[in-house]
A and B are shown apart, each in its own frame.
Chain A
Amino acid sequence: MNTIVCVKQVPDPEIPPAKFKIDPETKKVVPPPGVPPVISVYDERAVEAALRLKDKHKGKITVISVGAGKVSDVVRHALSMGADEGFVIEDGAFENLDSFGTATVLSKAIQKIGGYDLILCGRQAADWGAGQVGSILAEILGIPVVTFACGIEAVDKKLRVRRVVKDGFEILETPMPSLVTVSSEIGLPRLPAGMSLMLARKKQIPVWKPQDIGLDLSDLDKEKAHTEIIGLSIPTRKKECEIITGTTPAEAAIQLAEKLSQLF
């Protein structure tokens, strides 16, 4: 079975909180120097889900990523995990794409690749975390979508998807092709370790421009975007700790109890 996985490059979410800086003017995050971007965690798990299916049913995994700058590293990461082929779709116009814009670009690329049984996305991105691209993409392509998957099986040309819900799991059956968004409960992605790690280093990753996928940039016109970020701020977090003192520890405890009971 052939799977297409959509991955996104994000600023490393594990930078120390104190190093997290934003530029309120441009409404952008300013990544600290020397910290390379990484593949979005849920997308990495989507790659893992694809690999698990491939381990069982063979087939081909194609990985794509959309970006304004150089995003081939995340595709390379997926290749080093064991994906077969990767493409990036790059253009300066892709800066600040909203979910609809991203899904539009992806849909064009996917239509160019064709021949898929399954499309996988992360449940949301680790940066802006809009959590919509997968569903919108499925609507554009006109295929069913199952969200928050924690397990995918292929049975009789159908997909059985185990899905995370609040109080447990649901198992859904959906035809091929479908789009499935993957949640972290699927488990840790494999460490890119085997031969694929070395082979991926040297692999050429074709870069597609909008015209290569038949995308009319006016479709992404800023005015046609649905939402606009008008502000970005770091929530103020009281850094000073109020040390509660008392003549005895018990007395301090009583004062603390007073303060805490106001929280409820």
Chain B
Amino acid sequence: MDGYQGVLVCGELAEGKLAPITIELLGIGRKLADELGEKVSLLLMGNPIGHLGQEAIAYGADQVFVAEDPLLEVYNSDAYTYLMADLCRKINPSIVLFGHTDMGCDLAPRLNGRLGGGLTMDCLTLSIDPTTKRLISTRPVFGGNAHATLMSKSARPQMATLRQKIVAPAERNDSRKGEIIPVEGKIDPSIIKMKVVERLKEEVEGVKLEDAEVIVSGGRGIGSAQNFKMLRELADLLGGAIGATRPACDEGWVPASLQIGQSGKVVSPKLYIAVALSGAMSHISGCLGSKVIVGINKDPEANIFNVARYGIVADYKEVLPALISKLKERLSK
């Protein structure tokens, strides 16, 4: 479309550095821009952050807009929306990319409301339609039951938030050249209507069940609290968490907070190892979103094998020790 050009990535910082999602966005942004034959820019907001501009260039940005202002030190929806809308109106990007993060989820829809370009959230893939040169995105809908593919229409900028950790991060190349452009103008404090008055951190021991990429889950077949230790060993090895079915929690072998299923937590890790649990639907419903489910059960008829990707029909006590030692060996390589 006339006047709209280039891919703008909304950058995020993590502990003073470029956040991993920003490097992932620079990677995909680069690809999209190359297909369009346009530039990739990055917007960095914070105070002070100038030193990150060069690093962003190394990750593929052609231009880095740096907005430094005490009011931008921490994320503030009013300030960030204002600043970013202002920049977009100035540079007219064709595509604006955000991470599907706390910040992206809050900022992108507001910006869409302000600029009206169209936004797709939680994208799994992003590409350019070869004929229309418009942005095409895929995102899960209906609770992951279906995937929808969306294409932008005539409005610009075309915006998207990208799910974390699904595209490869951009490769660093320190020889790359680019421009660092300071964003002019101070933010008028009167536009800030809301303010953060308190931040509370939640302390969690180990990996949170909801965040775990690997979950080793046990059912009534485990037999005792003692036996759950074997599951924990496997979970620790894979950097994951342990979960349980309701009967196992009922028996008091593990705390109720580890219950997965209908009346417990709903999880979607990359790997879900279901040990000695039959796979009652009320449990399965809590882990169906898992990428790979492995079932280990004595009963070949157990329902878990209907949803599992891999299965072993055997007593878990004979399977887990061998599995643990082999995985140790493989992972240490």
Question: What is the interface of chain A, defined by CB distance below 8 A to chain B?
Answer: 11, 13, 16-17, 20, 22, 27, 29, 98-100, 103, 124, 126-132, 134-140, 144-148, 160, 165-175, 178, 223-235, 238-239, 241-245, 248-254, 256-261, 263-264
- Interface check B166, CB cutoff 8 A: no
How far apart are A205's CB and chain B's nearest CB, in angstroms?
Answer: 27
Report Cα–Cα, A168/B308, bound state, in Å: 33
Q: Are B112 and A136 in contact (CB under 8 A)?
A: yes
Q: Which A-chain residue is minimally distant from B78 (CB atoms)?
A: A144
Nearest residue, chain B, Cβ from A124: B121
Q: Is the CB of B312 within 8 A of A248?
A: no
Q: Which of B140, B307, B308, B314 has the most CB of A within 10 A?
A: B314
Nearest CB to that of A139 among chain B residues? B113
The stretch that binds A, out of B34-42, B55-63, B87-95, B142-150, is: B142-150
Tell me, in angstroms, the Cα distance from A252 to B136 when the chains sit together: 43
Contact present for B149 and A242 (CB under 8 Å): no
Question: In the bound complex, how far is the Cα of B312 from the Cα of A256, in angstroms?
Answer: 8
List CB contacts (< 8 Å) of B302-319 with chain A.
305-315, 318-319
* Chain A contacts for B152, CB-based, 8 A: 226-228
From known contacts A134-B109, A138-B113, infer whether A249 and B198 are also in contact, taking CB-CB under 8 Å: no
Q: Is B120 an interface residue (CB 8 A)?
A: yes
Least CB distance, B90 to chain A, in whole angstroms: 19
B1 within 8 A of A: no
Main secondary structure of the interface of A (DSSP, over half): mixed
Name the CB-closest residue of B to A141: B113
Q: Which of A135, A139, A230, A243 sits near B313, CB closer than 8 Å?
A: A243
User: Chain A residue with minimal CB distance to B115?
Assistant: A139
Q: Is the CB of B149 within 8 A of A253?
A: no
> In the complex, are the beta carbons of A170 and B199 less than 8 A apart?
yes
A251 CB contacts on chain B under 8 angstroms: 322
**A131-B121, A166-B102, A244-B312 known; A261+B151 contact, CB < 8 A:** no
A175 and B331 contact, CB distance less than 8 A: no
Complex alpha-carbon distance, A132 and B106, angstroms: 9
Q: What is the bound-complex CA distance between A172 and B198, given in angstroms?
A: 7
| Cα separation A260 to B321 with both chains bound (whole Å) | 15
**Is there an interface contact between A241 and B295, defined as CB atoms closer than 8 Å?**
yes
Interface string of B143-175 (1 = CB under 8 A from A): 111111111111100000000000000000000
Q: Which residues of B contact A264 (CB under 8 A)?
A: 238, 331
Are the C-beta atoms of A250 and B318 separated by less than 8 Å?
yes
Report yes or no: B143 in contact with A258, Cβ–Cβ below 8 A: no
- Contact yes or no, A263 B270, CB < 8 A: yes
5 cross-chain pairs, A with B, having the tightest CB-CB distances, nearest first: A226-B118, A139-B113, A135-B109, A231-B149, A257-B326
Taking CB atoms and an 8 Å cut-off, the chain B residues in 280-333 that contact chain A are: 281, 288, 292, 294-295, 300, 305-315, 318-323, 326-327, 330-331
B198 cross-chain contacts in A, Cβ below 8 A: 170-171
Asked whether, in the complex, the Cβ of B311 is within 8 Å of the Cβ of A242, the reply is yes
* C-alpha gap A148/B102 in the complex (Å): 9
Q: Decide: B151 and A230 in contact? CB cutoff 8 A.
A: yes
B51 beta carbon closer than 8 Å to chain A:
no
Alpha-carbon separation in the docked complex, A147 to B107 (Å): 10
**How many whole Å from A31's CB to the nearest CB in chain B?**
11
B311:A244 contact, CB within 8 angstroms: yes
Nearest residue (CB) in A for B120 is A227
Query: Which residues on the A side are within 8 Å of B271 (C-beta)?
Result: 260, 263
> Is the CB–CB distance between B310 and A259 below 8 Å?
yes
Question: With the chains together, A243 CA to B140 CA distance in Å?
Answer: 29
* Segment of B189-197, B242-250, B252-260 in the binding face: B189-197
Contact of B318 among A140, A171, A249, A259 (CB under 8 A): A249
Q: Considering the chains assembled together, what is the distance between the CA atoms of A140 and B271 in angstroms?
A: 43
Q: Which residues of A have CB within 8 Å of B307?
A: 241
- How far does the alpha carbon of A257 sit from the alpha carbon of B294 in the complex, in Å? 11
A82 to B326: give the CA distance in the assembly, Å. Answer: 58
With the chains together, A13 CA to B78 CA distance in Å? 34
| Chain B residues closer than 8 Å to A244, beta-carbon distance | 310-312
